[in-house]
Structure 1
Amino acid sequence: VMVLDLVANTVIDSITVGRNPEQLIALNGKLYVPNSNDNTVSVIDVATNKVTATVTVGDGPRTVVADQSGNIWALGTGFTVYNSSPPYNIISSTPGSLTRFAAGGTSAQLTLPFANTSVSKLRISPDKTLLYYSYNGAEYQMSTTATALPNTPFLRRSFSGFAIDPRDNTIFAAVSTGYTTNGRFLRYPAAGGAAIDSFTVKVGPNGFVFY
């Protein structure tokens, strides 16, 4: 993890974490960094730029969010190992998982395994009470107080971009149809169900910013 001085545009420090850090979030003076090529989240004290804890989670953590109770959720995609020569068969795999731990803690409170590795894109609602993730070609919604994974999808399709409007929790979703054709933008009500509306956008839509 590199520490930047945005006034001088220089790197002023570097912090060694686990293998292939993917993302980070800040909460109460700490940074939480998922290390996607192992099974850990590094915790960094921003006052000292030092790693103060390493929390073991599921294999392949790529995204983390913080909920309304100050807990950290880490979504692991699992690992898949392929043969190095054609036809590149799968040698071994571990399933994805969703892990919760306290922001000040050093061990997992709850680990929820998936059946396979097709889980990705953990997000949280603006009020930090609902988790969203992509799994098996659908979007799922889960309360941060739940202790089991939901069985029924929230929306029965997958998206290249997904966000929640902080004003009214309307779902904004994007569908990319490739790198040479226009994509689609859709809006869904907060409770899910049929789309409110949709329209064509340019090539490769993959995210939203609310300002």
Structure 2
Amino acid sequence: MKHLKLKNLLMALVAITALMSCHKDKNDVAPTPTAGIFVLNQGKFGGNNGTLTYYNYADKATTADIYASANGAGLGDTPNDLKVYGSKMYVVVNVSNVVDVIDPKTAKLIKQISFDKKQPRSVAFYKNNAFVTSYDGTVSVIDTATFAITKSITVGRNPEQLVVSNNKLYVANSGGLGATPDNTVSVIDLTSLTVTKTVNVILNPVAISADAYGHVYVISNGDYNTIMPGISIIDNTTDATTSQNTVDVGYGSPFVVNGDFAYYLSGTGKVVVYNTKIQVISSANFITDGTTFKAAYGLNVYSKTGEVFVSDAKDYKSVGTVTAFDKSGKTEYTVTTGITPSNIVFLN
């Protein structure tokens, strides 16, 4: 009898161990992304704790850091930009000086491109090339087939975001690391890959976007003292600035164009809606259900549904959130992310 009880006890222990092992494996193995959103979390500057959160539409499950789960290592220090182009996803990791090329269907690293001491910031695409700005005052041209850096183009000081419009690349030169910020946008011809013009805008340009009507929008932070933040508009035919207006715009807010409307964050955390067709603000706040944020930081719009996604960095040192709003401005759901959630991209 004692032998039978001991045998049963051993069998129970084996079963429990097996169950525990299965549970552990389930948590350690990254899920296979299908349809959902990726959120890039910058972490703390210098903390080497950037992460990539994934939220699955189907089962409403959140993977806190799908990159680490898939690759067994973290993203690095202060990832600054995230974009999907074709079948690949690009992560620009500023302080770690790399650009990671990832398979969005598995979250596994395909290639890591070194930007030794250049401090890469943002990425944009045109045909077979990826263009990456770096704080050393250059735009690197990357062949998207081989991942080789084929050219370096000198632009202004400390370039930030960049956008393609009318077969040209517009680069916002912030000069943000110097005593005096820059106030220019470099225009690069995408055939010759040379700078053809430098356009003056409001001081400290950081975010840039374009619409279907020939307008390039540049959000500037000003000098944080006497020159206020604002938006400059460049004509993509003449490459001349057509207007410069002081507006209530949040620090580093993106300017997201979706059809005839664009969205940006105000200094008070509201989502401002701008009509690109008639060039007027159509709504001082897209959000209609009273939702507020402690530190609205990132923004994107899902074009198929008109949903607007806003990230809240909270206190910039603990986990943040991303909230989805339907096309009427009402909350649908909120996802817990990593520290300082910024860029939001969609996987269909």
TM-score, L = length of structure 2: 0.51
1:209 pairs with 2:345: yes
Of the two structures, which has the highest relative contact order with CA contacts closer than 8 Å and spacing of 6 or more?
2
Tell me by how many angstroms 1:178 deviates.
4.3
1:83 corresponds in structure 2 to: none
Indicate how the Cα distance of structure 1 residues 184 and 119 shifts in structure 2: closer, same or farther if over 3 A, else same: closer
1:27 pairs with 2:165: yes
2:257 corresponds in structure 1 to: 125
2:229 corresponds in structure 1 to: 96
Indicate how the Cα distance of structure 1 residues 135 and 197 shifts in structure 2: closer, same or farther if over 3 A, else same: same
Q: Cα RMSD (Å) of the superposition?
A: 2.5
Moved over 6 A (4+): none
* 1:162-203, Cα deviation, whole Å (9 max, x unpaired): 2111211111222233466433231112232x3123243444
Identify unmatched segments of 5+ residues in structure 1: 81-91
Identity over aligned pairs, percent: 26
Q: Measure the CA separation in 1 of the matches of 2:160 and 2:317.
A: 27
* Aligned positions of 1:42-191 closer than 5 A: 42-80=186-224, 92-114=225-247, 118-127=250-259, 129-138=260-269, 139-147=271-279, 152-155=284-287, 157=293, 158-178=295-315, 181-191=318-328
8 Å CA contact 2:209–2:257 kept in 1: the answer is no
* Aligned positions of 1:2-41 closer than 5 A: 2-37=140-175, 38-41=182-185
Indicate how the Cα distance of structure 1 residues 201 and 35 shifts in structure 2: closer, same or farther if over 3 A, else same: closer
Tell me by how many angstroms 1:95 deviates.
0.9
8 Å CA contact 1:119–1:133 kept in 2: the answer is no
Indicate how the Cα distance of structure 1 residues 33 and 188 shifts in structure 2: closer, same or farther if over 3 A, else same: same
Q: Measure the CA separation in 2 of the matches of 1:147 and 1:23.
A: 22
Tell me by how many angstroms 1:112 deviates.
1.3
Tell me by how many angstroms 1:36 deviates.
0.8
Structure of higher CA gyration radius: 2
Indicate how the Cα distance of structure 1 residues 175 and 99 shifts in structure 2: closer, same or farther if over 3 A, else same: same
1:86 corresponds in structure 2 to: none
Name the aligned partner's letter for residue 342 of structure 2.
N
Give the aligned length: 197
Identify unmatched segments of 5+ residues in structure 2: 1-138, 176-181
TM-score, L = length of structure 1: 0.80
8 Å CA contact 1:70–1:102 kept in 2: the answer is yes
8 Å CA contact 1:112–1:148 kept in 2: the answer is no
* 1:77-113, Cα deviation, whole Å (9 max, x unpaired): 1013xxxxxxxxxxx4311111112112232112211
Q: Measure the CA separation in 1 of the matches of 2:172 and 2:338.
A: 32
Tell me by how many angstroms 1:52 deviates.
0.8
Name the aligned partner's letter for residue 47 of structure 1.
T
8 Å CA contact 1:186–1:198 kept in 2: the answer is yes
